[in-house]
Amino acid sequence: MRLGPENGRLTVKTGRTGAAAKAGHNLLIEVTAWEATLEESSLVLSVDPASLRVLEGTGGMQALGDDDRASIAQTIDDEVLERQPIEFRSTSVQADGGRIGVEGELTLGGTTRPLAFDLALADGRLAASVVVKQSDWGIAPYSTLFGTLKVVDEVEVALDATLPQSL
C-alpha cells in the first residue's frame, strides 16, 4: 500500500524554550511531499525536506504572516535540515490487532539512528505519532536572539492517513 499527501497528512509540531520564548511560536508544520510504502513486513517513508510548510504558529508576541511562514520554512531547509534527505526504513513490522509495532532506522541530517513507534489501524485509517529528539541525530535545535529563543529539542511527528479502498 502506498500513502502520500493525496490520502494522508504528515505533520511536525515544535515547541519553544529560552528566556525569550514568549516572543516565539509553537509551530505546526505540514510535509507536502512524502511517500510511504507499507507492506506486511516493511515500511519505507521518504520525505522531501524542502517541502515543509508552516501551517500555524501559536503563542508569540504577534501573529505569523505569510512572509514569516516562508522564512521559517526556508530556514528549516537551509539551516536545520541542510537539504539532506529524510528517510525511514523498517527492520521489523509486527501486527497485533489494530496496532502495528514498527522498528527501523531514521536518516535525518545525514545521520542514521534507530527509531521505534506504533501505527494504529482502525476504521480505514492509519495513525502514528513519534517524538524525535533532534540532537540524537546531530541536529542542533534552531535558536535565535543570541540563544534566548530556541526550538525545543523534541519535535512530534504525526501521520494520519486514509487507507486506499483496494485493501
Rounded CA separation 82/65 (Å): 24
Rounded CA separation 164/124 (Å): 8
Section 123-130 average pLDDT: 93
Contact 16, 59 (CB under 8 A): yes
This prediction's pTM: 0.86
The CA-atom distances, in angstroms, between 8 and each of 56, 113, 124, 128 are 18, 25, 12, 11
Least confident of 40-49, 74-83, 102-111: 74-83
- pLDDT bracket for residue 128 (50, 70, 90): very high
For 6-17, what is each residue's pLDDT tens digit? 999 999 999 888
Could you tell me which residues are beta bridge partners of residue 39?
42
Average model confidence (pLDDT) for the chain?
88
